[in-house]
Structure formats: structure tokens, C-alpha cells
Amino acid sequence: MSESILRVQNLRVVFPHRHGELVAIDDVSFEVKKGEILGFVGESGAGKSMTGAAIIGLIDPPGYVEQGEIWLEDQRIDQLDMRAFTKIRGRRISMVFQDPLTSLNPLRTIGDQLIETIQMHLPVSQEEAKRKAMAGLEEVGIDPARFNAYPHEFSGGMRQRVVIALALSAEPELIIADEPTTALDVSVQAQVLELLKKLCRERNASVILITHDMGVIAETTDRVAVLYAGRLAEIGPTEKVLHQPEHPYTRGLIASTPSVELGNIDTELFQIEGAMPRLDALPTGCAFHPRCEHAQDRCVEQRPDLLQERVACWLYADG
């Protein structure tokens, strides 16, 4: 798991605004290794989905990547035009969204949709595409006899399995899963996450798993990146970050999530005071300082960079 499939360097995404520009993502760098599941975690507005959208070239205008580089193996992809990106999206990088209904056409059978996606990206005959589509359904635990069923004939969990089959159908190397189980019951959520994990392991595909839930991070990911107000607060192996969190925001997120994996199911849950700042009202210095019990003068005045590629907090600046 040493080679990188994706490298993001100093990514900055902005939205023009009447008073200048709003910075949605600022100076974010990370890599995803082959076969790895990297989690992005943080509250709403942290920049998780925006980072995913930048990678797959789907930032809603007028937003745009103002600075930084995104590399898919040895190909720089942040400067590709729409046409060139279409060859990558769905083929080398695919996406699983929170609501399966937004990814599925309600008027077409799931079989047709699978065949269309496969033939769009792979040079195979209709027959071969059908064979692959059937095998894909079987792989995600759906009876291939339901090939001609419509999306509304499936439960929420089964529909998300169809979406996973669609996302994997062109054999992508990287899957961006944006809150893929948030709309599902807890037991179905665990099954879908387990399935995603198993399939990616079997195919040596990498996953960026976007979630607000530290419990999902604990169960599913190899490494985790904690985002706050469009910047990386902390990044590292999941085991290390969960059991020895350094950034006060990471500690707050863990302490506020009831989870067997995190070992706090019986303890009184913590609540991080305040809320994620709006983009047009970002605090000076460390954006977390109004909510941080450790904030010092320096935190209000100067923004900490990511120290030792690990944590962005002045508490660790002197080693």
C-alpha cells in the first residue's frame, strides 16, 4: 500500500463574492495510497465534500480551483477540460453519493443503467457488458434475476448497493464515497460499509470516504483527515488519530461520538461549543479558536500550518 493513486498539493478552492472571494478550501495537501481507505471527517461546512468535488472536477460554478495541483498517478487532472475529464470520471474515479436516487434514473431498469455505464467506459460488446452487469449485481449481493427491476422496486439499502455496483462497474482505481450510508438504518449502514470495504480490498481500489461520523471512520478507514473550515486540522493513521488525537477539534469530535469502537458508549458525551464558522465570517488566526478551550493570543493572530504533516495547532509548535 505504498504507491499513491492520488496526490493533492496545496489545494485552494474559492467562490467569487461581492466583497472579494470566499475561500472554501485552503492549502489542503494529502495523498491516497493504492488500496487505501482514507476518511474525511468534520462537521457540515468543513470542506469535505468540496474537496471531493474538486478531485472529480465537479465544483459548482462560480467556484473554482484557484491554486494547487491534483495528480491521479502521473497525470495532472486539475487542468483538464470537460471533455478530457469525462474520460476519467466514472472510469478511473467514480463517486457514490448519499442519496442513491440522485445517481439512478427512475425511468430505466438498473440493468440498462449498468450496461450503459460499462459501455461508456469500457470497450466491450453488449453481451459482455450484460455479463459484467449481472456479475456486478451478484457481487454487491443483489439477485441478478432483478436485472430488469426499476430503482423504486428496491429498499434504500439495496438501492445503495446498486449505486456501488454502478460505481465499480468500470473498474475505477479511486472511489469517492460522500456520506454513502447517512440515509440508511444503522444495521444496513454497517452492511453497506462492509461491502464497500470488501470490494475495494478485492480490487485493490482506493476510497475517499466522506463522513461526519467518527464511528464510521473508526469502523472503515485506514487513515483519516480531519477538516475544519476548509483546512486540514489533523491527518494520520486512523488507529493513531482515534486513540491519541492531538488537535482539540479532533478530540472534541471523538468525545462527542457515541461508538463501541471509540470506547465511549457508556460515558457522558461531550459537546463542542459553538458552530462551524461561515465562509464569509472566518475567524482570524486558527479558525477553531473561538471554540477552543486551549486558545492563546497566538491562535487569534496567526494561523498554524500543518506541523510535521500531522496536526495544525500551535500547541505542538515547539515539538
Q: Where do the DSSP E strands lie in 82-161?
A: 93-96
Q: How far is the CB of 66 from ligand SF4 (least distance, A)?
A: 24
Going by their DSSP bridges, the two strands 206-211 and 174-178 should be labelled as: parallel
Q: How far is the CB of 53 from ligand SF4 (least distance, A)?
A: 26
- In the complex with ligand SF4, the residue whose CB is nearer, 161 or 231, is 231
Q: How far is the CB of 259 from ligand SF4 (least distance, A)?
A: 23
- In the complex with ligand SF4, the residue whose CB is nearer, 70 or 233, is 233
Q: How far is the CB of 106 from ligand SF4 (least distance, A)?
A: 45
Which amino acid type is present at position 239?
A: E
Per the CB < 8 A criterion, the answer to whether 195 and 203 are in contact is: no
- In the complex with ligand SF4, the residue whose CB is nearer, 146 or 251, is 251
- In the complex with ligand SF4, the residue whose CB is nearer, 26 or 179, is 26
Among 57, 75, 62, 64, CA closest to 25: 64
Is 218 a residue that touches ligand SF4 (CB under 6 A)? no
- In the complex with ligand SF4, the residue whose CB is nearer, 161 or 289, is 289
Q: How far is the CB of 273 from ligand SF4 (least distance, A)?
A: 13
Long-range CB contact pairs, 235-241, < 8 A, 24+: 235/30, 235/306, 235/309, 235/310, 236/310, 238/39
Between CA 133 and CA 100 the distance in angstroms is: 18
Between CA 147 and CA 110 the distance in angstroms is: 6
Q: How far is the CB of 225 from ligand SF4 (least distance, A)?
A: 16
Is 114 a residue that touches ligand SF4 (CB under 6 A)? no
- In angstroms, how far is CA 164 from the centroid of its own chain? 14
Strands across the sheet containing 64-72: 20-33, 4-17, 64-72, 75-76
Q: Site residues for ligand SF4, window 118-157 (CB under 6 A)?
A: none
- In the complex with ligand SF4, the residue whose CB is nearer, 142 or 287, is 287
DSSP state of 310: T
Q: Site residues for ligand SF4, window 246-265 (CB under 6 A)?
A: 247-248
Q: Site residues for ligand SF4, window 281-300 (CB under 6 A)?
A: 286, 288-289, 292, 294-295, 299
- In the complex with ligand SF4, the residue whose CB is nearer, 42 or 151, is 42
Is 313 a residue that touches ligand SF4 (CB under 6 A)? yes
Q: How far is the CB of 288 from ligand SF4 (least distance, A)?
A: 5
Binding mask 228-247 for ligand SF4 (x = CB under 6 A): -------------------x
Between CA 235 and CA 309 the distance in angstroms is: 7
Q: Which three cell numbers stand for residue 315?
A: 500547541
Q: How far is the CB of 303 from ligand SF4 (least distance, A)?
A: 8
Between CA 102 and CA 232 the distance in angstroms is: 29
Q: How far is the CB of 175 from ligand SF4 (least distance, A)?
A: 31
Number of residues in contact with ligand SF4, rule: CB under 6 A? Answer: 13
**Distances 156 to 94, 161, 201, 263, 273 between C-alpha atoms, Å:** 20, 9, 24, 29, 34
Per the CB < 8 A criterion, the answer to whether 146 and 110 are in contact is: yes
Is 304 a residue that touches ligand SF4 (CB under 6 A)? yes
Binding site for ligand SF4 (CB under 6 A): 247-248, 286, 288-289, 292, 294-295, 299, 304, 313-315
